[in-house]
Amino acid sequence: MAIKAIARQVGVARNTVRAALAADTLPRYERKPAGSRVDAYDGQIRALLARTPTMPASVIAERIGWEHSASVLRARVAQLRPLFAPADPADRTEYQAGEIVQCDLWFPAKIVPVSPGVMVAPPVLTMVAAWSGFIMAVLLPSRTTGDLLAGMWHLLAGTLGAVPKTLVWDNEAGIGQHHRLTVGARAFAGTLGTRIYQTRPRDPEAKGVVERANGYLQTSFLPGRAFASPADFNTQLEAWLPRANQRVLRRTGTQPGLRVGTDAAAMMDLPPVAPSVGMTDRVRLGRDYYVRVLGNDYSVDPSVIGRFVDITAGLTTVTVTCAGQVVAAHERCWDVRRTITDPAHVTTAAALRQAYRSRSAAAIAPAAKAGALVGVRALSDYDDLFALTTAATTSVTTVAEGTGRRLEAVR
C-alpha cells in the first residue's frame, strides 16, 4: 500500500507512517528524563568514593551538605560505588576427605528456659565435615573459651570419632582474633595434633558450608518447637540431626550420612589423652564457703575452709576438689547471679560453727572463773617509781570480790 493509503486507513499523518516504517521498533512516546536533585552532587560523590570507596552514604551526605531524601542519595551511592570499589570474587573450593571441619555459632531466639521465668538464647556450636556435609551441633552455656573447646571435643569424640586436619573458625573471641589463638585453643589444637585456621573478618564465604547449615537449622529444626530446659534442647537436637544428615545435598549429590564414614576414615585418630577443656581455676576457700564460677556461686564443703580448692566447670557439671578429693559437685546453672547450695554443706557449716563457739566458750571460762582484775598495786607505788610527789593522798583498800586480793586506790 502507498504511504498515503496507509495514512488514510490508519488515520495518522503521512510523516508518522514514514517514521514508523523507518524505525526498527514499535513507535512509542518517550519523554526526556527530568533528572534528579542528586545530579548536581554527582561529581562530589564520585570524588569522595574515589578517595574512600567504603565511605557510608550517611557520611557522604554530611560531607556534601545533602538535606533531601536519604533514600535518593543511597540509591545513587549504591549505583556509583561499584565503579570505585574493587571486586572481591569468591572462588569455589574443592574439599578433600578428612581435610576440613568448619565451625561456627548459631544463635536461636530466647526460647530456652534456664530458671523460672528466665528465657535465654545460648549459642549452638555447629560443626560440619566439609567433604561429606555431615552436620554436628550442641547447645553451649556460653561463648567462653572453655565451653567452646568442651563443645568441640564433645562433638569430635562423641559423634565424629576422629580429628580432621584443619578446624576452620571465624574471628570468634573465645578461639582467637587477628590470627592469634587463645592459650586454650593452642593447647587444644596441640593435644589433638590438628590446626585451627581463622578466616578474615567479614568473610562468611570462607566457611559457607557451615553458614548454610546454620540457616538450615534456623528454618528446619527450630519452627514449632518448645523446650523445657537446655538439656531438652540438646535431646531434641540430637534426635533430629540424623534426619538432617539423610537429605541429599545438591553440592555432593548424595546423603551426608552415607559419606561421613569415608570422611572420618581419612581423618586422624583421637588422641590417647583427652585435651583440657572447660573452665578451670584454683582459689583459697574463704569463710563464706562459696566459689564464683562464670557468674554464679556454688557451695563447697566447709571442712576445707582456708585451703586451696580446684574448680572444674564442664558443659553440665561444676566440680570442686581439694587435694584430689571431691568437696562439691553441682549441676551447672545456665543463668547468672544465682546461688546454688548443697543442703549437706549447710548442715556441715552449722555443726562446725557450733563446735567453734563451744571451743571458744571453753577457752574463756577459766579466765572468767579466776575473776581476773587489774590494779593489784597501790597507786603510790607508781608515784614512787616516777618520782612524783603526792599531796593529801588517801589510800583506800578494798578486797576484790571472789579473789581474796587487796586492792589499794589513791584519792
Q: pLDDT of 275-306, one tens digit each? A: 999 999 999 999 999 999 999 999 999 999 99
- Which residue is it, cell 573459651? 145
| pLDDT higher than threshold 50 for residue 16 | yes
pLDDT of the residue at 400: 45
Tell me what pLDDT residue 225 has: 93
Domain boundaries in the chain?
3-83, 100-265, 279-345, 379-410
Residues 191, 195: Cα–Cα separation, whole Å = 10
Percentage of the chain with pLDDT > 90? 73
Query: In this predicted structure, what is the pLDDT of residue 403?
Result: 47
Confidence (pLDDT) at 149: 97
Report phi then psi at 308, rounded to 5.
-75, 135
Q: Is it the case that residue 366 has pLDDT exceeding 80?
A: no
Q: How confident is the model at residue 181 (pLDDT cuts 50, 70, 90)?
A: very high
Q: What angle do CA 209, 213, 215 make, to 5 degrees?
A: 120
Give the pLDDT score at 393: 46
pLDDT tens by residue, 232-250 = 999 999 999 999 999 999 9
> What does residue 180 show for φ and ψ, rounded to 5 degrees?
-120, 105
Q: What average pLDDT score do residues 145-161 get?
A: 96
Mean pLDDT confidence for 250-276: 95
User: Highest mean pLDDT: which of 12-16, 80-84, 162-166?
Assistant: 162-166
Mean pLDDT of 163-182: 93
Cα–Cα distance between 369 and 363 in angstroms, integer? 11
pLDDT of residue 253: 94
Would you call 174 exposed, middle or buried from its count of C-beta atoms within 10 A (0-12, 13-18, 19+)? buried
Q: Which residues in 140-191 belong to E strands, given as ranges?
A: 166-169, 176-177, 180-181
pLDDT for 92 equals 78
Residue 374: strand, helix, or coil = coil
- The arithmetic mean of pLDDT across residues 372-383, rounded, is 66
Q: Is the pLDDT of residue 376 over 80?
A: no
Parallel, antiparallel or unpaired: strands 112-115 and 118-120:
antiparallel
pLDDT of residue 389: 60
pLDDT of 348: 95
User: CATH: 3.40.50.620, 2.60.40.10, 3.40.50.300, 3.30.420.10. Which one for 100-265?
Assistant: 3.30.420.10
Tell me what the pLDDT averaged over the chain comes to: 89
Say yes or no to pLDDT of 397 above 60: no
Q: Kindly report which listed range (32-41, 206-215, 262-271, 392-401) carries the lowest average pLDDT score.
A: 392-401
- Nearest Cα to Cα of residue 172 among 143, 130, 147: 143
Q: What is the pLDDT of residue 48?
A: 95
Do residues 17 and 3 lie in contact, with contact meaning Cβ atoms separated by under 8 Å?
A: yes
Q: What single string gives the DSSP state of each residue in 229-257?
A: SHHHHHHHHHHHHHHHTTSPPTTTSS-HH
Q: How confident is the model at residue 179 (pLDDT cuts 50, 70, 90)?
A: confident
Q: Check: CB of residue 125 under 8 Å from CB of residue 101.
A: no
Q: What angle do CA 226, 230, 235 make, to 5 degrees?
A: 75
pLDDT tens-place string over residues 305-348: 999 999 999 999 999 999 999 999 999 999 999 999 999 999 99
For the chain, give the percent of residues with pLDDT over 70.
91
Radius of gyration of the chain from Cα atoms? Answer: 41
Report the pLDDT averaged over residues 168-172: 94
The C-alpha atoms of residue 232 and residue 215 are separated, in whole angstroms, by: 21
pLDDT computed for residue 264 by the predictor? 96
What pLDDT sits at residue 55? 94
Residue 369 confidence class, pLDDT cut points 50, 70, 90: low
pLDDT in tens, 88-111: 787 778 899 999 999 999 999 888
> Using one digit for the tens of pLDDT, what is the confidence trace for 194-234?
999 999 888 888 899 999 999 999 999 999 999 999 999 99
pLDDT of amino acid 368? 52
Distance CA 309, CA 294 (A): 16
The pLDDT assigned to 34 comes to 81
pLDDT value, residue 116: 87
**pLDDT level of residue 371 (50, 70, 90 thresholds):** low
Which pLDDT value is given to residue 80? 94
Q: Is the pLDDT of residue 163 over 60?
A: yes
Per the structure block, which three cell numbers stand in for 17?
507512517
- Whether residue 365 is predicted with pLDDT greater than 90 in this model: the reply is no
Q: What is the pLDDT of residue 392?
A: 46
The confidence score (pLDDT) of residue 125 equals: 97
